[in-house]
Structure 1
Amino acid sequence: MTPRLWLPSAAGPLVLVAHGSRDPRAARANEALAAAVRRLHPRGQVRLSFLDHTGPRPAETLLALEESGERRATLVPLLLTSAYHGRVDIPAALMDARAAGLRMPVSVSDVLGPVGGQTSALLLAALRRRLDAASAAAGVWSSAGPLDGVVLAAAGTRDATARETVSAVAASLSTALGGVPCQVAYASAAAPTGAEAVAALRDAGARRVGVASYFLAPGLLHEAVVTAARSAGAAVVAEPLGGAPELARLVLARTATAREPVCDLVKAA
């Protein structure tokens, strides 16, 4: 039986905000996550919106909710770091809604990645779920110890603070896997590449390297970093997090951190 979580009615409808992609697989993965959240939160509305490439956009979704009679809403960014999309695009989306006439209060939660230096146990459990599934399919069982090196494959960013949070996830994942070395790799904007990360682990003595995908959805960047890792000898490559049940629980947990952003409070004043 799927456990259900009841959120305070004061939270209003949840508007999940994904990055968006031209790759249709990305929209399907985000829809799978939204569906998983709905199963946990059957009494509330859960809407999915996108910052770019596809619709509906957050402003459109918020305006439609207000028109239907809703009195407030909560935005949950489906983002793994607080880089540009979290710091700039999410507030901009809310300001677009205000400019279009939105009046109801809107709270915004933290992203799904580390907050205040803490990596959620639910995020780590989702990463392990995907890594274990890939390991089992390949005849390797990661939680029992056969993997002796793990690459945490991420999209990449020039934001040093955001990269620090990815490194924090890698360190926490290493601990969760019993001390298996975990090396970050990026698809773009930062080093090392997937191939370089695998090579570094193998140079340090690892012989069975797995790749944990720090992505919510498949796409060009995910393919780039995991293809590079495979070319260097990675034995196991996990799927993106998508609709992992632990991630759905994390989405709901993040609503506890939701607050009205400063830019919105200033405008209201």
Structure 2
Amino acid sequence: MSAAARTPSSPGILLFAHGARDPNWALPFEAVAARVRALRPGAQVRLAFLELMSPGLAQAGEELVAAGCVEITVVPLFLGAGGHVRKDLPALVQALATAHPGVQVRLRSAVGEDPIVIEALAAAAAQDPTPAFLPAATP
């Protein structure tokens, strides 16, 4: 059945992060995905990575389409709009939209540019040090 013929079961939210060699790097992003699922119980939520980790954006997008999503919002989990967000990501989003012409794919701005995130980062940075903080590296 084509995406255009489906009844939308739920919106799709595709969280997009950079990726790293260390699998522990993804833990905060997995926590964000779990929290988004809790905040938006009717949405299908997937986490995707630009490089070094999987799934990539195309695979996560395919999963959302297979789940019946005809609207997908891509949310870059980046602090700013550097080259990956300004150049690489729009090309990946365009490829996803082209592969699924019956699906509306939207790209949000980097979350780090949202005033809520800026405030949360400032509040975290302004906290008194606690034992959870790591000591500074020495040369």
TM above 0.5, yes or no, is yes
Aligned to 2:129: 135
CA shift in 2, pair 1:97/1:126, >3 Å: same
Cα displacement (A) at 1:131: 4.8
Contact 1:60/1:97, CA 8 A, preserved across alignment: no
CA shift in 2, pair 1:69/1:36, >3 Å: closer
Structure 1, residues 195-238: CA drift from partner, whole Å, max 9, x if none? xxxxxxxxxxxxxxxx9xxxxxxxxxxx9xx53xxx49xxxxxx
Structure 1, residues 87-113: CA drift from partner, whole Å, max 9, x if none? 0111121233245x2221100111122
- Distance in 2, matches of 1:122 and 1:81, equals 11
Seq. identity, %: 31
Aligned to 1:192: none
Aligned to 1:259: none
Cα displacement (A) at 1:22: 0.7
Aligned to 1:79: 78
TM-score by length of 1: 0.42
- Over the aligned positions, Cα root-mean-square deviation in angstroms equals 2.8
Structure 1, residues 148-194: CA drift from partner, whole Å, max 9, x if none? xxxxxxxxxxxxxxxxxxxxxxxxxxxxxxxxxxxxxxxxxxxxxxx
After TM superposition, the runs of 4+ consecutive aligned structure 1 residues lying more than 4 A away are none
- Larger radius of gyration between Structure 1 and Structure 2: 1
Contact 2:11/2:42, CA 8 A, preserved across alignment: no
TM-score by length of 2: 0.77
**Structure 1 letter corresponding to 2:40:** H
CA shift in 2, pair 1:61/1:123, >3 Å: same
Aligned to 1:124: 119
- Distance in 2, matches of 1:66 and 1:110, equals 22
Aligned to 1:66: 65
| Gaps in structure 1 of 5+ consecutive residues | 1-8, 139-210, 212-222, 233-269
Contact 1:62/1:102, CA 8 A, preserved across alignment: no
Structure 1, residues 5-24: CA drift from partner, whole Å, max 9, x if none? xxxx9x92110000111111
- Distance in 1, matches of 2:67 and 2:34, equals 21
Contact 1:81/1:112, CA 8 A, preserved across alignment: yes
Counterparts of 1:94-173 in structure 2, within 5 Å, are 94-98=93-97, 101-103=99-101, 104-114=103-113, 120-129=115-124, 131-132=126-127, 135-137=129-131
Cα displacement (A) at 1:72: 1.3
Cα displacement (A) at 1:126: 3.7
Q: Give the number of aligned pairs.
A: 129
**Structure 1 letter corresponding to 2:120:** A
Q: Any idea what SS the aligned residue of 2:14 has?
A: strand
| Gaps in structure 2 of 5+ consecutive residues | 1-7
- Distance in 1, matches of 2:68 and 2:37, equals 20
- Distance in 2, matches of 1:32 and 1:91, equals 25
